[in-house]
Amino acid sequence: MRICIVAEGCYPYVVGGVSSWIHNLIKSFPNLEFVVLAIVANRSFSGNFVYELPENVTEVHELYLEDKEWQQKKKKMRRSKLSKEDYYALRSLVLNQEVQWERLFDLFQKSSTSIEDILMGEDFFRIVQDSYDLQYPQIVFSDFLWTMRSIYLPLFFTLKMEVPKADLYHCIVTGYAGILGSMAKYFHGSRLMISEHGIYTREREEELIKADWVQGVYKDIWIEQFRKMSNHAYERADIVTSLYERARTLQIELGCPAEKTRVTPNGVNVEMFQDIPGKQEEDLAHINIGAVLRVTPIKDVKTMIQAFGYARKENEELKLWIMGPWEEDEEYAKECFDLVELMEIPDVEFTGRVNVREYLGRMDFTILTSISEGQPLTILESYAAGKPVIATDVGNCAGLIYGEGDSFGEAGILTHIMNVDEIARAILKLAASGKRRQRMGEAGYKRVMSKYKLQDMKETYKQLYQDFARVMEIPWTEEDFKPSL
Three-class SS of 101-121: HHHHHHHHHHCCCCHHHHHCE
Give 360's contacts (C-beta < 8 A, 6+ positions apart).
273, 276, 290, 292, 366, 381, 382, 385, 387
Burial class (CB in 10 A: 0-12, 13-18, 19+), 151: middle
Question: pLDDT band at residue 67, thresholds of 50, 70 and 90?
Answer: confident
Over residues 178-189, mean pLDDT: 97
CA–CA gap between residue 288 and residue 292 (Å, rounded): 13
**pLDDT, tens digit (0-9, with 9 covering 90-100), for 314-331:** 999 999 999 999 988 999
End-to-end CA distance of the chain: 20
**pLDDT, tens digit (0-9, with 9 covering 90-100), for 20-45:** 999 999 999 999 999 999 999 999 99
The confidence score (pLDDT) of residue 72 equals: 47
CA–CA gap between residue 181 and residue 188 (Å, rounded): 10
Helix extents (H) in 375-433: 377-384, 397-402, 420-431
Mean pLDDT of the chain: 94
Q: Which strands sit side by side in the sheet containing 191-196, from one edge to the other? A: 57-64, 33-40, 2-8, 168-171, 191-196, 239-242, 261-263
CA–CA gap between residue 122 and residue 142 (Å, rounded): 14
- pTM value is 0.91
The confidence score (pLDDT) of residue 80 equals: 63
pLDDT at 116 over 70: yes
> Greatest CA separation found in the chain?
76
Percent of the chain's residues with pLDDT above 90:
86
Greater pLDDT, 131 or 76: 131
Helix extents (H) in 211-300: 217-236, 245-253
CA–CA gap between residue 144 and residue 132 (Å, rounded): 8
The confidence score (pLDDT) of residue 73 equals: 47
CA dihedral over 52, 31, 20, 288, signed as positive or negative: negative
pLDDT at 249 over 70: yes
Question: Cβ distance 170 to 233 under 8 Å?
Answer: no
The confidence score (pLDDT) of residue 451 equals: 93
**pLDDT, tens digit (0-9, with 9 covering 90-100), for 253-305:** 999 999 999 999 999 999 999 989 999 898 899 999 999 999 999 999 999 99
Question: pLDDT band at residue 483, thresholds of 50, 70 and 90?
Answer: confident
| CA nearest to 118, candidates 89, 141, 161 | 89
The confidence score (pLDDT) of residue 207 equals: 87
What DSSP designation does 242 have?
E
Question: Cβ distance 128 to 144 under 8 Å?
Answer: yes
pLDDT at 78 over 70: no
CA–CA gap between residue 270 and residue 273 (Å, rounded): 6
The domains found in the chain, sorted by start residue, are 2-67+161-263 (3.40.50.2000), 77-150 (no CATH), 270-451 (3.40.50.2000)
Q: Give strand ranges (E) for 250-401.
A: 261-263, 287-292, 318-323, 348-352, 365-368, 389-392
